Structure 1
Amino acid sequence: MAGLAAPPGGIDPRSGFCAATRTYHSVRTAGTFPPESLPVTVAAYAFSLLSSPLPDRPALIDAATGIAVSYPSFLAAVRSLAGGLWSSLGLRPGHVALVVAPSRLDIPVLHFALMSIGAVVSPANPASTADEYAHQVGLSRPVVAFAAPEVAAKLPAHLRTVVLGSDEYSRLSSAGAQAAAPPPVAVKQSDTAAVLYSSGTTGRVKAVAITHRNLIALICAHAENHEKVTAEATEAGEEPPPPAVTLLPLPLFHVFGFMMVLRSVSMGETAVLMERFDFGAALRAIERYRVTLLPAAPPLLVAMIKSEEARRRDLSSLLVIGVGGAPLGRQVAERFAAVFPDVQIVQGYGLTESSGSVASTVGPEESLAYGSVGKLASHLQAKIVDPATGEALRPGQRGELWIRGPVVMKGYVGDDKATAETVDSEGWLKTGDLCYFNEDGFLYIVDRLKELIKYKGYQVPPAELERILQSHPGIADAAVIPYPDEDAGQVPMAFIVRQPGSNLTAQQVMDYVGKHVAPYKKVRRVAFVTAIPKSAAGKILRRELVQQAVSMGASKL
C-alpha cells in the first residue's frame, strides 16, 4: 500500500498511520493549549480569546423575535448571574445544576455563568418524561434545577427548582450587579464542567462527565481549523471567510448544540437560536439574519433538496452547512451540491463521550470527500480494532474506532462499570462504530456496532424501548430496530410477539410506548411476528430483523 511507505516507527504524513504501533495520529497542525496545571474554567478561557474591544456584532440573536444580545451585554449578564448564583443561591465548585429549557437567549448566559464559578451545568431535554428526569437526577445528583415554566412540574418534587423567567430568577440575574463578584475560584481543568446525557453504547441514558480541559481542547481545535481555512483563502488570493453567523436549530442540551455555542462565543461570532426546529422558520432565519453557517443532521439536507421554498428564498449568505449527528450518504451530498453549488458541505463526527467533534472536513478541498466524516482533529490518536480479535488494523481495513486524546470524557457519573467498559486503562475510548481510514487519512463510518437508532440526529436506545414494550401485558416478546427513513434518517420500528389470545393493535403498541418516552423516542412502525430471532446466547439478531423489515416493504407493515 502506498500509504504505508513510512519507515518503521514513522508516521505516514498522508494517513497519519504508524505501522509500528498500528495507531493513527492527527495530521492537523497542533495548536497550543494552556498548561494543564493552570487553574481555568472553560468560560474564562473562551472569554480570554475575545478581542479587545469586544466584537461589535451580536453574540446571540433570537430567531423568532430578532432580539439581539451584544457581546458587552452578554458578558455583563454572565457576570451578574454568576454573582447571584454564588451569593444568593450558594452554588460552589462541583455543585451540579440541571437545566431544562428550550434554546432561549437566557440559556447560554446560564451555562456560562454556572461554568464560570466552577459549578457543573447539566442540560436535559425539555421533552423528557417525569420518569426520565427521575433517572437523570438519580445519576447526576443536582443540587438545583433551572427549568422552563412548562416543564418544572415534571421534575422530582425533592429537587430545588428555580423557574426561568420567574421573579426569583430575575433576582438571581440582577443580584450579582449589586453584590460583590464571586471570589476567584481555583477550578482545575480536570474538574467536571458539564454532565451531558447519552445512551452510551447500550441501555438507559448515562450521565457523561465532560471536563473544562475537554471543552478547552475542542475550542482550540476549532480555532486551528479556522486558521487553516483563513490561511488557504489568503494563499489563493481570496477574502478570508467573515465571522460566522451560525443558525442553531440544534437543542442546546445535545452535545452538538452545546459545543456550537461554546465555539461561537469563543470566536467572537454570532449564534442565532431557534427554540424548536421548524424548516420554514429556519429558511426565513437564514435569509433575515444573513446566516453563513448551518449545523444540521442529514435529514435537513434532504428537506432542502426537496423544498420549493428553499429555492425561492435568498439563501445567498449561506457558505457552509456542517453535517453531524448521523452519517451523510454520498448520494444525498451529491444531490445537495447540485442544487446548492455555492454551499460547502463540512462533515464531522463525534460523540457525547468525546465532548463533540472527533473528525471533520476542513476547507473546500476536503469537503469534496463525500461520504467521509473528515480527518482526525488535532491532538487525537485513533485505532481501528478488529472486534473479534482485538487486533489493530491498517488503512482500508474495517473495525471498531477507538480514540484517545484530550477530548475523551472523564467517565460516566455513578457508573464505574460502564466507564471501564467504554474507556480502557490506557485512555482509549471505544466508540462502538464500525469504521475505516483510507490512505489519505479520511475516516469513513460504515455501520454502527452499537445498536442506537439515529432519529433526526437523536440517539434512541432500542433496549430502553424493548424494556417498556415487554412490560405490556399483551406482549410476549419484542425487539426494536432502526428502519430507514429518508426524512428522519432512521425511525424506531418494533417487532412484536403477542401473548396468546391478545388482539393488540399497532396503534395500541405505539400509544403505549409514547406515554413513557420523549417524542423522538416513539415507536413509529410495528410488525407482528411469531418469534424474535435470537442467537444461542439470547441476543436479538437485529440485522435479520432489519433485512426482514426492508424486504416486507412499507405497504405490508
Structure 2
Amino acid sequence: MKRAFKASDTQTSLFDALIQAQKRFGSDKIIIEDQDRKPLSYGMFLAGIFGLSRLLKRHLGDEGRVGMMLPTSSGGAVSFFALHALAKVPVMINFTSGQANVKAAVQTAQIKTVLSSRRFIENAKLEDLVDSMKSYVRIIYLDDIRKEITTTDKLFALAASKVPNLFVKKTKASDIGVILFTSGSFGSPRGVVLTQSNLVSNTRQIEAHIELKPEWVAFNPMPIFHSLGLTGGVILPLLAGLRSFQYPSPLHVKVIPGLLKESKASLLFSTDTFVNQYARSGEPEDFKTLAFVVCGAEKVRDETHNLFQTQFGGVPILEGYGVTECSPVVAVNFPDNNHYGTVGKMLPEMEARLEPVDGITGGGRLWVKGPNIMGGYINIDRPDVIEAPKDGWHDTGDIVNIDDEGFVRIMGRAKRFAKIAGEMVSLTAVERIAEEVWPDNRHAVVAISDDKKGERLILITDKDDADVSRLTHWAKENGAPVLAIPKKILKVEAVPVLGSGKTDYVTLQKLAEVDSKAA
C-alpha cells in the first residue's frame, strides 16, 4: 500500500524521521551499501553518524554551516547526517561546476570549512580545484580525522546508536536541512535553502504517490550535490526502509549495468542521457531485477523507452519532473499508469497554477505551492538574507500543459523560447525534431540575435554528417513549421553536459555566439 501523507510529516525534523525509520524497520535491517561492499544496518549507520559527529565536533567548533564535497557513498550519507546530529547545516559543493562557481558557493553560503576525502579527490582528479579552494576555505579530510578515533569514541558511538534521541542535538522541522546550488544550466548557480520539513515532506509525498516496498533495493549513481541524488537517492531510501546502493559517478556506463545485476536493484535513479548509455553498454540480464527506472532532469527520448521495452523485458521508465527549489520532486509517472511524453501527475499536497504567456497557446507558466517548496534563495550579494517565495508560491520558469486527467507535459523553459519573425518557437520542440531525424545522437538548440528576424536558431549536435536538408524534409513530411528548422548546424565531438546530466546551455550559448561572430 501507498503511505498516506500526514500533517505530522511537515512537522518532523530530518533526524527524527531517521530514528522513526529505524524503529519501524528494525536496527538490524541492512539499509545502505556502496562500492566498498560494507553494508550497514540502521544501527551501524547511526553508530557511524555519532562516531563521526564526535570527531567533527572537535574540529568545527561553533560553525553553523559546513561544506560537503564528497562522492555518492555510504560515507557521504553518514557525513550528511553527522552534521545534522550536531545541528549543523550541510552545504553541498558541486565539484563539477568549475572553480569560479565553487568559490561563489562558498562565499554565498558563508562557510569556513569543507569536508572532503583524499581518496575521493585523487580518484576524481580534483587536485587543481582543491589547491585553488585552499586560499579561501579550510579543507578537512575525513580519511585523516578518522585516524583520531579512540576506544572511548567507539563506545560513545555504540551507546548513542542505541538511544539516539538522547545524543542528537535537537532541531526543528523549520530549520535548514541543506543548502544546494542550482545546476547553472542557464546561468550562474543560486543558493537554494531547503528546510528539514521540505526534505521529509518530499519523501513522504513520493511514498504517498508510488508504493515503495521495503524489500526493494534503490540504486543511486547521481551526485549528492544534485537534489535528485540527495533526496531521491539517499534520504528517501533511508526514511522509507529501502536498502540503497550508492555509487560515486553516473559516468561509469560500462560498470553500472553489471552492478545493477549484482546488487539486485529494484529502482534506478538517473537521467535519460545516462540510462540510454547503460542500455547500450549492458546485457538484458543486467536489468532484469528492476521494477522501474526513475528519470528526471531532461526529457526521456522515445529511443530510450523503446530500448527498455524491446530488449529489457518491458522495464518501465517513469519520467518525472523536479526542480531544486521543490526538494526536488514535483510530479512523476506511475509504474502501472505510465503516460509516455508526460512527467506524470503532481505529487500529493501540491497546488499548481498556470499563468498565460504571450504567444504560447495550449499551456502556461507553472507556479507550484506545497510543503516541499524551499525556504528561499540566498545570493552572493546578500548572503545573510533568505528570500522566501511570496505567499509560498514558486515560479518554476517552465511552460507546461496539464491535461484533463492531471498529467503534466513540459513544453519548455520560459527562457527556452525564441521569437522569430514575431512567432514564438520552443527550442525544446526543435531539439525533438533533431532527435526524430537522428535518434542515436545528442542535440541541443540555442537562439542568437538576428537583425532581420529578431532571433535565429543554431543546432549543436554530435552527428558529424548532420545537414539542414534532412531537418527540412522531416518538417515538410510531418507538418512542422519552417520557422522551427535551424538554418545553421554546429558539429561538436560531444554535446557538453553538467554533472547532473543536464545539457550545459551556458557553454553552448557561448559557443554559438563565438561561431556567429567569427562567420
Normalising by structure 1, we get a TM-score of 0.68
Which residue is 1:273 aligned to?
246
Give the CA deviation at 1:386: 1.1
The aligned counterpart of 2:315 is: 343
Instruction: Give the match's secondary structure for 1:346.
Output: strand
Q: Which residue of 2 aligns with 1:296?
A: 270
More deviation in 76-85 or 51-60?
A: 51-60
**Who is 2:258 aligned against?**
284
Instruction: Choose which of 108, 115, 119 in structure 2 pairs with 1:139.
Output: 108
Identity over aligned pairs, percent: 22
Quote the Cα distance in structure 1 between the aligned partners of 2:151 and 2:224: 24
Deviation at 1:436, TM superposition (A): 0.7
SS at match of 1:78: helix
Name the CA distance, whole Å, in 2 between partners of 1:528 and 1:52: 56
User: Could you tell me how far apart the structure 1 residues matched to 2:457 and 2:50 are?
Assistant: 47
Is the CA contact (8 Å cut-off) linking 1:322 and 1:347 kept in structure 2?
yes
The 3-state SS of whatever aligns with 1:48 is helix
**Aligned positions of 1:223-302 closer than 5 A:** 223-226=207-210, 229=211, 241=213, 243-259=215-231, 260-277=233-250, 278-302=252-276
Structure 2 CA distance for partners of 1:527 and 1:412, relative to 1, 3 Å: closer
AA matched with 1:290: K
3-state SS of paired residue (1:371): coil
How far off is 1:129 after superposition?
3.3
Whole-angstrom distance in 2 between the partners of 1:398 and 1:173: 61
Once the two structures are overlaid, the 10-residue window that deviates more, 105-114 or 42-51, is: 42-51
**How many correspondences in the alignment?**
438
1:125 alignment partner in structure 2: 94
1:155 aligns with 2:126: no
AA partner of residue 436 (structure 1): N
What is the aligned partner in structure 1 of residue 179 from structure 2? 195
In structure 2, the partner of 1:382 is: 352
In 1, Cα distance between equivalents of 2:407 and 2:503: 31
- 2:396 matches 1:431: yes
**2:5 match:** 31
Does structure 1 retain, via aligned residues, the 8 Å contact 2:101–2:188?
no
Q: Which residue of 2 aligns with 1:103?
A: 72
Amino acid of the residue matched to residue 139 of structure 2? T
In the alignment, is residue 400 of structure 1 matched against residue 365 of structure 2? yes
2:29, 2:42 within 8 Å by CA — same for their partners in 1? Answer: yes
Going from structure 1 to structure 2, the CA distance change for 1:388 and 1:421 (only over 3 Å counts) comes to farther
Measure, in 2, the Cα distance between the counterparts of 1:174 and 1:437. Answer: 59
Q: What SS is found at the alignment partner of 1:378?
A: coil
For 1:551, the equivalent position in structure 2 comes to none
Partner Cα separation in structure 2 for residue 61 and residue 400 of structure 1: 41
The alpha-carbon distance between structure 1 residues 414 and 125, as it changes in their structure 2 partners (threshold 3 A), is closer
Query: How far 1:187 sits from its partner (Å)?
Result: 1.9
Give how far 1:323 is off.
Answer: 1.0
Comparing 317-326 with 185-194, greater Cα deviation is found at: 185-194
CA distance in 1, matches of 2:462, 2:196: 37
The 2-side partners of 1:135 and 1:410 are apart by 20
Q: CA deviation at 1:29?
A: 8.5
Give 2:204's aligned residue. Answer: 220
What is the one-letter code of the residue matched to 2:277? A
Which AA in structure 2 matches 1:440?
A: E
Aligned residue in 2 for 1:79 = 50
Conserved 8 A contact 1:99-1:147: yes
Match of 2:378 in 1: 413
Per mean C-alpha deviation after superposition, the further-off stretch among 418-427 and 282-291 is 418-427
CA 1:33–1:173: 2 relative to 1, 3 Å: farther
2-structure distance, mates of 1:431, 1:519: 16
The 1:424/1:271 distance shift into structure 2, 3 A limit, reads closer
Change (3 A) 1:184 1:47: closer
User: Structure 1 counterpart of 2:71, which letter?
Assistant: P
Letter in 1 for 2:179: V
Describe the SS at the equivalent of 1:108.
helix
1-side partners of 2:457 and 2:147: how far apart?
A: 45
CA contact (8 A) 1:255 1:355 kept: yes
Q: Which amino acid aligns with 1:274?
A: Y
Match of 1:483 among 443, 448, 460: 460
Aligned residues of 1:49 and 1:267 also touching (Cα < 8 A): yes
Q: What residue number does 2:423 align with?
A: none
Q: Which residue number corresponds to residue 545 of structure 1?
A: none
1:326 is displaced (CA, Å) by 0.9
Amino acid at match of 1:119: K
Give the partner amino acid of 1:299. T
Which residue is 1:492 aligned to? none
- Superimposed CA distance per residue, residues 459-499 of structure 1 (whole angstroms, 9 cap, x where no aligned partner): x9x99xx9xxxxxxxxxxxx99773669xxxxxxxxxxxxx
Aligned to 1:23: none
Q: Distance in 2 between matches of 1:334 and 1:119?
A: 45
* Residues 1:70 and 2:48 aligned together: no
When the two chains are superposed, the root-mean-square deviation of aligned CA atoms in Å is 4.2
Which residue of 2 is the match for residue 361 of structure 1?
A: 333
> How far, CA to CA, are the matches of 1:252 and 1:116 in structure 2?
19
Are the structure 2 counterparts of residues 212 and 261 from structure 1 closer, same or farther at C-alpha, using a change threshold of 3 Å? Answer: same
Post-superposition shift, 1:415? 6.0
